């Protein structure tokens, strides 16, 4: 048999001012934009990606495959039409040339110019050239679902972890159902329901309640053979599109739809009854930093979740670092902050030189009515690196990442890392590649939400969440939503949501 395997991933924050052109889709490769053909295969194989699982499975079967695209971008603003058309055409053209099945490693929350559901549009285009083609899709835990995405897939499986450490396994799960379909052993049918809930990402992790019991039931249903695939998706709430919400999705064999429907009802009812528990209570930034200052031991991880590039933030908002400095925290490593201009200044000064400069605050956020505010820093340039490192932790293991040129400013009690490219610190390599051991620091100030737990959780003695400003805020009242399906919780009260979940 011949398969088409492709990876196209982006989580789109429609409130982010950060553009997402074709060149942004170079995450995990050394190309200026998406990797294609043999370069895509080389960049993917041996990594913790669903597409890597697809490759391994097809090779073990002795079958053939082509990989027209590996395009992965750091979460940011709306994807340009040029980028989406290039990537989708690469994939559709490969299908048009002939294959027995398609295996896609997608995100599920990509918004492109003209297409609020870019993944659904990609599947629609594939169906247009190959109406009966079996299509397996692996999706991120934060996927949002339109009818086009669900109706045009043969099998769908989603990550069951957050931080996402089971990406390869998700590919295995999706592929298992596809292969059974190709052998004529099953007839997959997809059942799904999206609830009108804007869940808070700080309350979504399957490691903890309220999601844990729901995910445990989902895992048991797939493990015990009640259904072919079972997934619950927390959804990505920072997109102003009609199909946002928590989704339960089951892939059942055609002869077992009735039991699967009852399972779907039970799972969505469980989630809906817990809707209030999916809301994160926000604490003022200064109070969180003050609490951290009172803690004993270390490392104490300070997590600025309002400006997390893993959800579309600019990674250059300096308010939390300014508060850390104001309150006099000592023995701190902070960053990486994205500011190419500041990096260039530090490189021009040279290692060992003392420099005063403004860092960050270069990005305005019109949707949030926030102006960038640079922070004046003075220190000695400690080191300069190329910013390249390979992930060794459990999330996207083996993937090569780049911060671009990177410099570290030593301010005495605080080390500040500044880079040219945004990168959420889910792996300690962001610091260790520059010779900094975060495990030896009292405080680690990073911009993240949940993914930091993959690499920094094992070394953290305390974790303090800090609500800094930015387009990743957990205060949904700050977002000018216009296109959501309404009513939706918690923007509307329960009295307005009587039948919304049915």
Q: What CATH number is given to the structural domain containing 106? A: 3.40.50.2300
Domain count, the chain: 2
Q: What are the helix (H) ranges across 224-316? A: 257-273, 285-294
Read off the pTM.
0.93
Same domain for 291 and 272: no
Residue 275 to residue 272: CA distance in whole angstroms: 5
Give the three-class secondary structure for 247: strand
- The answer on 295 and 359 residing in a single domain is yes
Residue burial 400-411, b: 16+ Cβ < 10 Å; e: rest: ebbbbbbbbbee
Collect the ranges in the chain with pLDDT lower than 50. Answer: 499
290 and 259 within one domain: no
* Residue 147 shares a structural domain with residue 212: yes
The residue segments making up the domain with residue 309 are: 285-473
- Write out pLDDT tens, residues 239-274: 999 999 999 999 999 999 999 999 999 999 999 999
Query: Per the domain annotation, does 488 fall within a domain?
Result: no
Show which of 253, 278, 303 is a domain's final residue.
Answer: 278
69 within some domain: yes
Question: Is 483 part of a structural domain of the chain?
Answer: no
**Is 309 within the bounds of a domain?**
yes
Assess whether 403 and 465 both reside in one domain: yes
Closest CA to 214 of 174, 182, 260, 246: 246
- Alpha-carbon distance of 12 to 16, in angstroms, equals 8
Residues 339 and 269 in one domain: no
In a domain, 362, yes or no: yes
Looking at the fold, whether 251 and 332 belong to one and the same domain comes out as no
Which of 232, 257, 278 is at the close of a domain?
278
Give dist(CA 250, CA 246) in Å, integer.
14
**Do 271 and 294 belong together in one domain?**
no
* Backbone φ, ψ for residue 272 (5° rounding): -65, -40
378 and 309 in a single domain? The answer is yes
CB 74 within 8 A of CB 448: no
Q: Is residue 487 part of a domain?
A: no
497 within domain boundaries: no
> Of the residues 237, 252, 278, which one is the last residue of a structural domain?
278
How far does CA 127 lie from the centroid of its chain? 27
Q: Do 205 and 155 have their domain in common?
A: yes
Residue 190 vs residues 106, 138, 166, 417: alpha-carbon distances, Å: 17, 14, 22, 46
Domain-located, residue 433: yes
Same domain, 273 and 411: no
Decide if 370 contacts 364 (C-beta within 8 A).
Answer: yes
344/298 same-domain check: yes
């Amino acid at each position: 048999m011949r398969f088409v395997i492709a990876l196209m991933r982006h989580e789109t924050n429609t409130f982010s001012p950060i553009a997402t052109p074709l060149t942004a889709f170079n995450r995990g490769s050394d190309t200026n934009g998406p990797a294609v053909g043999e370069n895509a295969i080389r960049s993917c194989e041996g990594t913790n990606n669903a597409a890597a699982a697809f490759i391994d499975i097809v090779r073990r079967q002795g079958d053939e495959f082509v990989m027209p695209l590996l395009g992965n971008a750091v979460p940011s603003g709306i994807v340009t039409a040029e980028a989406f058309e290039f990537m989708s055409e690469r994939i559709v053209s490969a299908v048009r040339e002939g294959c027995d099945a398609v295996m896609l490693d997608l995100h599920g929350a990509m918004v492109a110019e003209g297409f609020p559901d870019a993944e659904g549009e990609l599947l629609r285009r594939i169906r247009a050239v190959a109406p009966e083609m079996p299509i397996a899709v692996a999706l991120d835990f934060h996927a949002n679902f339109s009818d086009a995405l669900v109706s045009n897939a043969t099998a769908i499986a989603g990550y069951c972890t957050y931080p996402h450490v089971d990406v390869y396994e998700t590919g295995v799960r999706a592929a298992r159902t596809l292969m059974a379909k190709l052998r004529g052993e099953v007839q997959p049918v997809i059942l799904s329901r999206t609830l009108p809930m804007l869940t808070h990402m700080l309350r979504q992790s399957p490691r903890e309640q309220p999601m844990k019991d729901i995910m445990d039931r989902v895992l048991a249903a797939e493990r015990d053979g009640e259904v072919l695939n079972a997934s619950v998706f927390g959804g990505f709430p920072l997109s102003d599109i009609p199909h946002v919400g928590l989704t339960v999705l089951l892939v059942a064999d055609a002869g077992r739809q009735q039991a699967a429907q009852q399972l779907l009802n039970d799972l969505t009812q469980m989630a809906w009854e817990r809707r209030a528990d999916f809301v994160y209570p926000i604490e003022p930034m200064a109070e969180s930093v003050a609490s951290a200052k009172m803690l004993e031991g270390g490392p104490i991880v300070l997590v600025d979740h309002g400006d997390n590039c893993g959800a579309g933030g600019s990674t250059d908002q300096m308010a939390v670092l300014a508060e850390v400095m104001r309150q006099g925290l000592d023995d701190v490593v902070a960053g990486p902050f994205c500011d190419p201009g500041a990096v260039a200044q530090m490189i021009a000064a040279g290692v060992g030189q003392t420099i005063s400069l403004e860092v960050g605050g270069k990005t305005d956020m019109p949707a949030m009515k926030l102006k960038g505010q640079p922070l004046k820093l003075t220190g000695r340039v400690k080191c300069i690196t190329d910013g390249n490192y390979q992930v060794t932790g459990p999330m996207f293991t083996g993937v090569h990442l780049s911060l671009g040129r990177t410099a570290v400013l030593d301010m005495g009690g605080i080390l500040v890392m500044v880079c040219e490219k945004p990168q959420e610190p889910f792996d300690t390599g962001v610091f260790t590649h520059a010779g900094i051991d975060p495990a030896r620091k009292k405080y680690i100030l990073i911009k993240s939400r949940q993914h930091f737990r993959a690499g920094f959780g094992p070394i953290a003695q305390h974790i303090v969440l800090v609500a800094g400003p930015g387009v990743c805020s957990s205060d949904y009242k700050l977002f000018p939503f216009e296109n959501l399906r309404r009513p939706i919780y918690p923007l509307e009260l329960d009295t307005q949501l009587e039948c919304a979940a049915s």
